Amino acid sequence: MMRFTPGMMMGGGFSMIFWLLIIVAVIYFVSNLNKNNSSGSSNYKYRDSNNSSKSAEEIAKERYAKGEITKSELNEILEDLRK
């Protein structure tokens, strides 16, 4: 007659459930990572650390206001973006 022991539970069914949960978690996180990377790539949107979306034109204007780029560089960037 076979007895049910804690060792059987740990080695048999529990092990299968444990690895199944690990696989499901990995698939879930990889799929969410792909969704986050692919969103926001159109219309020149940039998501900064404050989670606010800014267009490339707004970023270029902010960089000009901070003195990071010159007026001619700003005009060149804006011209390229509008093409």
pLDDT, tens digit, for every residue of 3-13? 655 555 556 67
Mean pLDDT, rounded, for 43-71? 78
Residue 54 has φ and ψ, to the nearest 5°, of -130, 145
Q: Is the pLDDT confidence value at 18 over 70?
A: yes
Nearest Cα to Cα of residue 82 among 60, 52, 67: 60
User: Which is more confident, 48 or 41?
Assistant: 48
Token pair 């960037």 is found at: 77
Q: What is the pTM of this model?
A: 0.38
**How far are the Cα atoms of 39, 44, 58, 75 from residue 82, in angstroms, in the given order?**
21, 11, 13, 11
The residue type of 76 is E
Q: Is the pLDDT confidence value at 17 over 60?
A: yes
Question: What stretch of H or E contains 55?
Answer: strand 53-55
Q: What is the pLDDT of residue 32?
A: 83
